[in-house]
Structure 1
Amino acid sequence: MISGEPKIYSSSEHGRRHFCSECGTGLFHVNASMLPGIIDIQSATYDDPDAVPPTVHIQVAERLRWMEHAHELPTFEHYPPRLEGCA
Structure 2
Amino acid sequence: MLKGQCFCGAVRYEAGDTPSQETACHCSVCRHTSGAPFVAWFTVPAMAFRFTSGRPASFRSSAHGTRMFCAACGTPLTFRSAQFPDEIDVTTCSLEDPERLPPKDHTHTSSGLSWVRLADGLPVYGETRSGIGAAGPVR
Distance 1:11 1:44, change over 3 A: same
1:17 alignment partner AA: R
SS at match of 1:66: coil
Q: Distance in 1 between matches of 2:118 and 2:108?
A: 16
Aligned mate of 2:62, from 6, 12, 16: 12
1:82 alignment partner in structure 2 = none
Larger RCO (CA within 8 A; separation ≥ 6): 2
Superposition CA RMSD, Å: 1.9
- Alpha-carbon distance between aligned partners in 2 of 1:19 and 1:30, rounded to the nearest angstrom: 12
Large movers: runs of 4+ above 4 Å? none
TM-score by length of 2: 0.45
- What is the 5 A alignment of 1:7-86? 7-33=57-83, 35-67=84-116, 69=117
* Structure 1: gaps of 5 or more residues: 72-87
Larger relative helix fraction: 1
Q: Which has the higher strand share?
A: 2
Secondary structure, aligned partner of 1:17 = strand
* Higher radius of gyration, 1 or 2: 1
Unpaired segments ≥5 residues, structure 2: 1-10, 13-52, 120-139
